[in-house]
Structure formats: C-alpha cells, structure tokens
C-alpha cells in the first residue's frame, strides 16, 4: 500500500498508543468521582491539560477535551451564536471550511442567522478588504480555517484578528486542525480554536477546543459539570493522556518533520509539472503536506478510484465531503467547475518515503494513460 492521505488521518504514534493503554489499564476510576481512584484519574486528566496548555501557550482552564475538531467546531460556532444572540445574528465565513463548519452555518441559517461567505483570491487567501466591509455591529462571529484541508492555503489569521478586534462584540473562531503540529500557531489571535489529535499522531475520537476565559458560549452537551461547564460526560482520561503525548511529540519534532515534507512536496511539484495536462491547484506557499491537483478531462473521483485499485490511497476533497460534487475550495480559487470536478488531493507526511513517491509516479502515469479520453 502507498498511503498518501495523511491529511484525512495519520497513524497513531507508538508512544501515544502505549500511553493510552497504560492509562486505560491503570486509571480505572471516573474522574468525577470523589474517591481515591477517581481522584487519581482526575489528577491525570489535569496533568494532560497542563501539558497541552503549556505546549499551546494557553491556560489549562481554557481547554475543553472533545471527541475531535468536528465537535469542537460545532461547540464553538453554535455555542457562540446562541450565547450572543443579543449582539446579532450575522456570521462571516469562507468557502474553504470543513463540513463541520459549513454544516453548522447551514443549520443556523435555517433558524434565522445570516451568513456571508468571503471571496478568496487565486492564491486561496480571503479578501481582507471585503471582510472589513462586511463586518457590522450585528456580526457575532467570524469563522475560518487556519489551513484548509483541500488546498493547504495558509490564511492570514493575524490580519483577520486585527480587523475583527475592531468590533469588540464580534468573536473569531479558528479551525486549526490542519496547522497544529505542522506549523507554529498563535492561539491568542482567536477567541476559540479547535483541533483534532488524529491529524498529528494521536488517537481518533479525541481533540481540543480552546475557549478564551471571557468568551460566553452555550454548551453543546448538557448533563453535568464534569471537568468543565462546557462539556458534560465522563472524562476520557486515556484519550486526554494520549493527546498530550501526541502533542508533545508533534511539537518537539515539528521543524524537522516540516523540512522533510517540504522536500517531498517540491519533488512532487517538479515531477508533476513535467507531465502534460496536470494542473496543480495548491499555491506555492501552501502547507507542503497538502498538494491538490487535477488531470485534464479526468474526473478526480475516477482518478482516485483507479489509484485505489492499485492500492494507492488519495482523496477527492476532504474525507467528510459529499461525493460526486465539485470541490468548493478548488472552485472558489479557479472559478472553473470542470477543474473543481477534476481535482483530487495528495497529502504527505514525514513518514512518506522516496521509494513510495517513485512507485506513485509510475502508477500515476499508468492510470493517466488508462483513463485519458
């Protein structure tokens, strides 16, 4: 198998799995229980939070352990929207968001909220002048991804934050799923930030939502205080311990891993640029882990399926997207429906080898020859 879909899911780090298994075996108490087993579990949960907070540059009490970024995005967007109805029912977003963001916004629109979608340039970045012009006193929330999962565009979060801050009643939510563990990110630029552990060697079903302490937000899950007012339920101590371990490894190894992936990306760009009919949609300064491309006159889904038959794993759009529809992200950048239908995504890791890329490029040529009209 040649695995080139790390943006959808990365394999768990062995040390992370060991930490999870050890915690699950040893910490048998409910962290909400007021006995020795419960207090031991609560202490481990607190240590995991402190570790994550130190690595992310935030306060432990501002972190909410979640089941992943989809829950984090839902909690932040719906929670802020409902808690700030008195401000207004206007929200601004981008066409590059994950389905867990766009789905939330569709739900809010159906219940009376107004949503404006920013234009993006050919480089995939949002139009900051348009953002400034769309903001108004009734804007309760601006939500955007730090890096989108289809093109790898790195958004100007700092500049966005400066503009949003000029409206004191407006909040900024950032989906940081594709940037944490790959590039440095300043959490203080936003009011809420979501991330998911399985993107950087953690375990599926675990994530974090950071909420600035003074942000008003209604909880998505009700039923008790637990470790936070904003998420009821029995704390998943093993997952929290594992997430902290994965984050430590990812942050410690971040720079070296980034350089490896950058080299792989540059090689792929060179090789693919020399093949006629190939269009690379990811801008040159995109996160190198993501390379979006298309082959003329061949639908992206058809190319993906043909590669899958050869045991090569790539994606069309994000793994959570609806099949057989054009890529919203690629269409937003190209303004071309055909190219949006032809697009598909390679995503790389420090685990990707040169031999894998050799084999992939050979298979790519065979598939293109087989599918060309």
The per-residue pLDDT of the chain, averaged, comes to: 96
Q: Which helix (H) or strand (E) holds 91?
A: strand 90-93
| Residue 323: per-residue pLDDT | 62
Q: Is 5 helix (H, G, I), strand (E, B) or coil?
A: strand
| Mean pLDDT value of segment 29-58 | 97
Q: pLDDT digit string (tens) for 311-349?
A: 999 999 765 555 668 899 999 999 999 999 999 999 999
Could you tell me the end-to-end alpha-carbon distance of the chain, in angstroms, rounded to an integer? 27
* pLDDT band per the 50, 70, 90 thresholds, residue 19: very high
Q: Which helix (H) or strand (E) holds 162?
A: helix 157-164
Domain residue ranges in the chain: 2-8+253-362, 14-250
Displacement of CA 4 from its chain's centroid (Å): 17
| Mean pLDDT value of segment 58-87 | 97
| Mean pLDDT value of segment 55-79 | 98
The answer to whether residue 309 scores a pLDDT higher than 90 is: yes
Of the CA atoms within 13 Å of residue 323, those in its CB half-sphere come to: 4
- Relative to beta strand 90-93, strand 114-117 is parallel
Class at the top of the CATH hierarchy for domain 2-8+253-362:
alpha beta
* pLDDT band per the 50, 70, 90 thresholds, residue 210: very high
| Mean pLDDT value of segment 21-47 | 97
The answer to whether residue 224 scores a pLDDT higher than 80 is: no
Q: What is the second-level CATH architecture of the domain 14-250? A: 3-Layer(aba) Sandwich (3.40)
As a whole-number percent, the residues of the chain with pLDDT over 90 amount to 94
| Mean pLDDT value of segment 49-55 | 98
- Say yes or no: do domains 2-8+253-362 and 14-250 share a fold: no
Q: pLDDT digit string (tens) for 228-241?
A: 889 999 999 999 99
pTM: 0.96
Higher pLDDT, 325 or 119: 119
| Residue 43: per-residue pLDDT | 97
The answer to whether residue 271 scores a pLDDT higher than 70 is: yes
Catalytically active residues, by annotation: 320
Contacts of 173 (CB under 8 A, 6+ apart): 73, 76, 77, 80, 141, 142, 143, 144, 190, 191, 192, 193, 194
């Amino acid at each position: 198998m040649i695995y080139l879909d790390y943006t959808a899911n990365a394999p768990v780090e062995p040390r992370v799995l060991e930490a999870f298994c050890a915690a699950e075996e040893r910490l048998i108490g409910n962290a909400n229980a007021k006995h020795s087993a419960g207090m031991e579990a609560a202490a481990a949960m607190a240590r995991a939070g402190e570790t994550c907070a130190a690595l992310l540059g935030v306060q432990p009490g501002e972190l909410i352990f979640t089941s992943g970024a989809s829950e984090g995005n839902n909690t932040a967007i719906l929670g802020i929207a409902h808690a700030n109805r008195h401000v207004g029912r206007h929200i601004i977003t981008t066409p590059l968001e994950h389905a867990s963001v766009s789905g939330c916004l569709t739900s809010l629109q159906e219940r009376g909220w107004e949503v404006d979608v920013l234009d993006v340039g050919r480089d995939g970045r949002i139009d900051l002048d348009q953002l400034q012009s769309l903001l108004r006193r009734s804007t309760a929330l601006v939500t955007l991804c730090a890096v989108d999962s289809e093109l790898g565009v790195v958004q100007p979060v700092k500049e966005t934050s400066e503009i949003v801050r000029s409206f004191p009643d407006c909040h900024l939510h950032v989906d940081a799923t594709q940037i944490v563990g790959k590039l440095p990110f300043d959490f203080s630029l936003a009011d809420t930030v979501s991330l998911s552990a399985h993107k950087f060697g953690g375990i599926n079903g675990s994530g974090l939502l950071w909420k600035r302490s003074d942000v008003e937000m209604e909880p998505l899950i009700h039923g008790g205080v637990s470790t936070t007012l904003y998420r009821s339920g029995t704390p998943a101590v093993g997952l929290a311990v594992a997430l902290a371990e994965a984050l430590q490894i990812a942050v410690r190894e971040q720079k070296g891993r980034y350089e490896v992936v950058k080299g792989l990306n540059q090689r792929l760009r060179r090789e693919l640029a020399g093949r006629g009919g190939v269009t690379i949609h990811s801008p040159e300064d995109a996160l190198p882990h993501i390379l979006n491309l298309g082959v003329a006159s061949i639908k992206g889904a058809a190319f993906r399926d043909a590669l899958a038959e050869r045991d090569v794993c790539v994606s069309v759009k994000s793994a959570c997207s609806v099949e057989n529809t054009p890529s919203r992200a690629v269409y937003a950048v190209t303004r071309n429906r055909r190219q949006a239908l032809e697009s598909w995504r390679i995503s790389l890791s420090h685990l990707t080898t040169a031999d894998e890329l050799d084999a992939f490029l050979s298979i790519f040529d065979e598939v293109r020859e087989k599918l060309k009209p």
